[in-house]
Amino acid sequence: MSSLRRNDLKPRIVLTEDDHRVLSALALTGTEAADDLLDEVERARVVPAAKLAPSVVKMGSTVTYRPDNGAERTVQLVLPADADIAQGKISVLTPIGTALIGLAVDQSITWEARGGQKHVLTVVSVEG
């Protein structure tokens, strides 16, 4: 039996129907970041908003996560037009934003930084 390597973490994710629709359209822009988002959107299980557990990251959620290369961080996941790193609002089109969407508390995922390095982050808490 092969063991799961740290750089292979790709847990199941869940999106609301609304987030799935909006993110699918956003992912069709054709950029590399959009391609990564499209991969995530295509593999997600889609549920009505009322069925989404409060512990799952959705658009607008405030998420605390622990990266493998630093201290815990808290961000709000937003659309690109609303991103403002100074206010802690990160775009779903950033590598971390794409990694966070659809994860639940205690799930970990591998994400690739723009420089090509692979990292793992774990969701610690979700609000909103």
pLDDT digits over 39-80, tens only?
A: 999 999 999 999 999 999 999 999 999 999 889 999 999 999
Per-residue buried b or exposed e for 68-99, using 16+ beta carbons within 10 Å of the residue's own CB:
eeeeeeebbbbbeeebeeeeebbbbbbbbbbb
Instruction: Name the CATH architecture for the domain at 6-127.
Output: Roll (3.10)
pLDDT on residue 86: 96
pLDDT of residue 4: 42
Structural domain spans, the chain: 6-127
Render pLDDT for 11-49 as a digit per residue (tens, 0 to 9).
999 999 999 999 999 999 877 789 989 999 999 999 999
Q: How much is the pLDDT for 1?
A: 33
